[in-house]
């Protein structure tokens, strides 16, 4: 250690001398530049430079001899540390000089590096184990992800098929594990249940559609029939109104006829009395006619006797000659007067005979008239009773017809309400049929199997055709169709049955 220190001091001294020579040379050069020639100064500088070079070479050789050996040991130790040989001790660590301190520091650094390397190796081993575990986990995760991806793809394909309406496709379990298998089974079960449900719905929908078609057709026929019935009831109500008015008028006429028959009975009774009096009067006239006939007979005899007397007077006047001429004239006049009296009496007698005959006929006819009037009176009494019965019956019929008319009016209102309900039911059946068709169309978008798509054809009931009824004239009042059928005709479809069907049910 002391030797190395002396060597170092010698090197420093030599270095100091060299620097002194250089300074001297430089001073000489300056002096020469100041006062001497340029060549001398240049010579001095060259000599100083050569000397400096020699000194430096000597210093290098001495330093190499003194410093190289310990530095070579340190270099080898550093190379060993660089190579990772941390178990090799540092050369020169036992020295007391600066190189020994450096070697000891390097040896501590070696120990630190050795501990670090040991920890690094331990960490690398732990990291390798963790990396292996991580790789295993990654592989497991990748395998699980692949399985899940396969399951997701399978589920996606199933969902896509389901979205397209394919209920026949089933999810396979190939390549699936764990929960994916259960999920595929649940999916298949759900699709099977959905297929069965939609199949049942489709069958029910078709049944509903077929039933709706029958109901719609029946409702159409029922609506038409109800319309006709309502029209018939309206016509019947109008006819009953007229009949009621007619019966009421008939009842009033029967009452008036009863009053007239009562008056006719009274008149017939009075006519009977008058006829009786007329018969009595005719009898009196006949009796007076017989009396007049007798009187006329007396007058006729008087005229005959007067004529005979006048004839005798004329004969006596003729016998008297001129004296009896005036008396003869008087006798002639008396005779003429007696003749005219006889002629008048004869005419009166003939007239009275005819009158008597006519009076007899009149008496007979009046008698027959009286008998007829008595019969008429009896019949008038019977007619009065019959007319009274007819009037009572007409009143009862009028009351009954009024009640029937009221009942028919109520039936007309109920029928019109029923017709409105039938129209609403028809519209509802049409709407239900359309909804069933739409539901069937929507369900038809799903593929649920060919064996389910086809269903047996529904057999329609074909009722027997009814005989044609006479057409009832539509009433003048507004019909129920004009009041209630709004929007129903827009939903009507053409009936599928033949004409005449559903005429009677």
Residue 357 half-sphere exposure toward CB, CA atoms < 13 A: 5
Query: 215, 172, 168: which is closest to 195 by C-alpha?
Result: 168
Angle (nearest 5°) at CA 309 between 306 and 315: 145
Q: DSSP secondary-structure letter at 502? A: T
Q: Are 92 and 104 a contacting pair, CB within 8 Å?
A: no
449 — alpha (psi -120 to 50), left (phi > 0) or beta? Answer: left
Q: Are 446 and 198 a contacting pair, CB within 8 Å?
A: yes
Q: Are 335 and 310 a contacting pair, CB within 8 Å?
A: yes
pTM of the model: 0.37
As a residue count, the chain comes to 505
Backbone angles phi, psi at 88, to 5 degrees: -85, 130
Q: Which residues pair with 447 in a beta bridge?
A: 166
**How far is 242 from 405, CA to CA, in rounded Å?**
10
Instruction: Kindly give the interhelix angle for 98-163 and 179-320, rounded to the nearest 10 degrees.
Output: 30
Return the pLDDT at 503: 40
For the chain, which domains are there? 2-123 (no CATH), 183-452+474-491 (1.10.287.950)
Q: In the chain, which stretches have pLDDT less than 50?
A: 1-8, 10-12, 23-24, 27, 30-32, 34-36, 450-505
**How far is 452 from 433, CA to CA, in rounded Å?**
21
Radius of gyration of the chain (CA): 84
**How far is 404 from 240, CA to CA, in rounded Å?**
8
Q: Which residues pair with 166 in a beta bridge?
A: 447
**How far is 84 from 57, CA to CA, in rounded Å?**
37
Return the pLDDT at 222: 81
At a CB cut-off of 8 Å and minimum separation 6, what does 51 contact? 18, 21
Q: Are 120 and 136 a contacting pair, CB within 8 Å?
A: no
CB burial class (10 A; 0-12, 13-18, 19+) of residue 481?
Answer: buried
- Cα of first residue to Cα of last residue in the chain, in angstroms, is 142
Which SS3 state, helix, strand or coil, does residue 448 take? Answer: coil
Return the pLDDT at 63: 63
Angle (nearest 5°) at CA 204 between 201 and 208: 130
**How far is 147 from 179, CA to CA, in rounded Å?**
10
SS3 content of the chain, % helix, strand, coil (to 5): 85, 0, 15
Helices and strands (H, E) in the chain, number of each type: 8, 0
CA distances from 345 to 145, 333, 341, 348 (A): 167, 18, 6, 5
């Amino acid at each position: 250690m002391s030797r190395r220190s002396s060597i170092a001091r010698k090197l420093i001294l030599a270095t100091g001398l060299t620097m002194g020579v250089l300074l001297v040379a430089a001073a000489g050069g300056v002096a020469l530049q100041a006062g001497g020639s340029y060549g001398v100064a240049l010579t001095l500088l060259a000599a100083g430079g050569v000397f400096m070079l020699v000194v430096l070479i000597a210093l290098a050789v001495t330093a190499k001899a003194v410093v190289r050996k310990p530095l070579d040991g340190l270099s080898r130790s550093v190379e060993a540390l660089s190579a990772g040989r941390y178990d090799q001790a540092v050369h020169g660590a036992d020295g007391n000089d600066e190189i020994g301190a450096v070697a000891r520091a390097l040896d501590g650094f070696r120990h630190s590096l050795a501990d670090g390397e040991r920890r690094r190796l331990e960490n690398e081993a732990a990291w390798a184990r963790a990396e292996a575990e991580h790789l295993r986990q990654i592989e497991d995760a990748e395998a699980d992800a692949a399985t899940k991806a396969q399951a997701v793809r399978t589920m996606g394909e199933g969902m896509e098929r389901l979205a397209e309406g394919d209920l026949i496709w089933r999810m396979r379990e190939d390549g699936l594990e764990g929960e994916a298998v259960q999920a595929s089974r649940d999916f298949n079960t759900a699709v099977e249940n959905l297929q069965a449900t939609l199949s049942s719905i489709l069958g029910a929908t078709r049944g509903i559609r077929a039933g709706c078609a029958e109901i719609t057709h029946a409702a159409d026929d029922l609506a038409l029939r109800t319309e006709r019935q309502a029209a018939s009831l309206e016509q019947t109500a109008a006819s009953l109104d007229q009949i009621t008015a007619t019966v009421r008028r008939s009842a009033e006429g029967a009452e008036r006829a009863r009053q007239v028959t009562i008056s006719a009975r009274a008149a017939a009774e009075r006519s009977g009395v008058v006829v009786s009096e007329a018969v009595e009067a005719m009898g009196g006239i006949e009796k007076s006619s017989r009396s007049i006939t007798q009187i006329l007979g007396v007058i006729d005899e008087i005229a005959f006797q007067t004529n005979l007397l006048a004839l005798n007077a004329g004969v006596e006047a003729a016998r008297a000659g001129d004296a009896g001429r005036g008396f003869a004239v008087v006798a002639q006049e008396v005779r003429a007067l007696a003749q005219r009296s006889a002629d008048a009496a004869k005419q009166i007698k003939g007239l009275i005979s005819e009158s008597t005959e006519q009076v007899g006929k009149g008496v007979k006819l009046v008698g027959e008239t009286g008998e007829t009037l008595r019969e008429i009176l009896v019949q008038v009494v019977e007619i009065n009773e019959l007319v009274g019965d007819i009037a009572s019956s007409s009143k009862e019929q009028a009351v009954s017809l009024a009640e029937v008319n009221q009942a028919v009016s109520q039936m007309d209102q109920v029928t019109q309400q029923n017709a409105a309900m039938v129209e609403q039911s028809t519209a509802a059946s049409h709407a239900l049929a359309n909804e069933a068709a739409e539901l069937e169309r929507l369900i038809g978008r799903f593929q649920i199997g060919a064996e389910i798509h086809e269903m047996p054809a529904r057999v329609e009931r074909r009722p027997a055709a009814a005989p044609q009824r006479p057409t009832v004239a539509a009433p003048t009042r507004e019909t129920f169709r004009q009041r209630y059928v709004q929007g129903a005709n827009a939903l009507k479809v053409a009936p599928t049955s033949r004409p005449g069907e559903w005429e009677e049910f």
